[in-house]
Chain A
Amino acid sequence: MSPKLKLSCCTSALVELRSFLQRSLEAYGFSEVDRHQVTLAVEEVCTNLIIHSHASNPKEVIYLEVKELKEKLAIEITDKGDAFNLLEYEVPDLKKVIEEKRKGGIGIYLVKKIMDEIEFESKNGENTCRLIKNFPSSKKPK
């Protein structure tokens, strides 16, 4: 059975998200660094949804499901907020972020660097973001 989590839309729930992911990712042979990074990527997407699509309203929820596919792992994040398609999000220039003293905007950059594939679809008011990481054995040598 694929591990699932219902997450309340408040940033204090992020700690629960991390422990769910750490537990769920253990079975797949990822290194500790990879598990840490995948956890971070999923958290970045969820943080964005919580703050920007759901205005940190704890009554609203995000659903997570960890799915084992052939040679890769998909973490599916589903919500009913305003659609945020991170594929269309233009990653800011790091120097600009520093100059403008912005404290946000770099989370999606991390997600794009960490994950092997990102899919997004929005259907009937429901948004699904799929973050995909190849299993270690199928990793191409760098």
Chain B
Amino acid sequence: MLQLEKIKEENKDILRLIGEVDASNSVLLDQSMQEILEQGTTFLLIDGSQLSYISSAGLGVFMSYLDDFSERGIRFAIFGLNEQVSEVFKILGLDRLIQIAPDKSTAIKLAHES
């Protein structure tokens, strides 16, 4: 089960992932990312504090947007990942390509610096 919540906070968009992302529902994550992008976001944060699982299908969605983000100067960071999920990002080396922070305020700071 995956639930997605879109939150608007000042100039930032926050996408909250609740549950598990796998090949059966990664398309929903893709759609939400696409919508936020089309609405002209300049600052996107992923709240992963309630994300209990993500497979390569979900990781691939994030990866497919990285070039767009840097081309359009969109600030992007992920925060709140639990230890297990965060390890998966590290196996792929995504922690070197995406700003990953323990909490929201650190994520905002990191995204500003990038």
| A interface list, Cβ under 8 A from B | 10-12, 14-15, 18, 32-33, 36-37, 40, 43-44, 47, 50-51, 94, 97-99, 101-107, 109-110, 113-114
Number of A-B contacts (CB under 8 A): 88
Shortest beta-carbon distance from A59 to chain B in Å: 17
Q: Is the pair B88, A98 in contact by a Cβ cutoff of 8 Å?
A: no
What is the interface residue range for chain B against chain A? 20 to 34
Q: Is the CB of A107 within 8 A of B87?
A: no
* C-alpha gap A101/B1 in the complex (Å): 25
Q: Which of A14, A32, A106, A113 contacts B23 (CB 8 A)?
A: A14
Q: Are A99 and B84 in contact (CB under 8 A)?
A: no
**Bound form: Cα–Cα A102–B97 in Å:** 16
A contact residues around B60 at 8 Å (CB)? 97, 102-106
- With contacts A98-B97, A114-B91 taken as known, whether A106 is within 8 angstroms of B56 at the C-beta atoms is yes
Q: Are B55 and A109 in contact (CB under 8 A)?
A: no
Instruction: Tell whether, in the assembled complex, residue A98 and residue B55 are in contact, meaning their CB atoms are under 8 Å apart.
Output: no
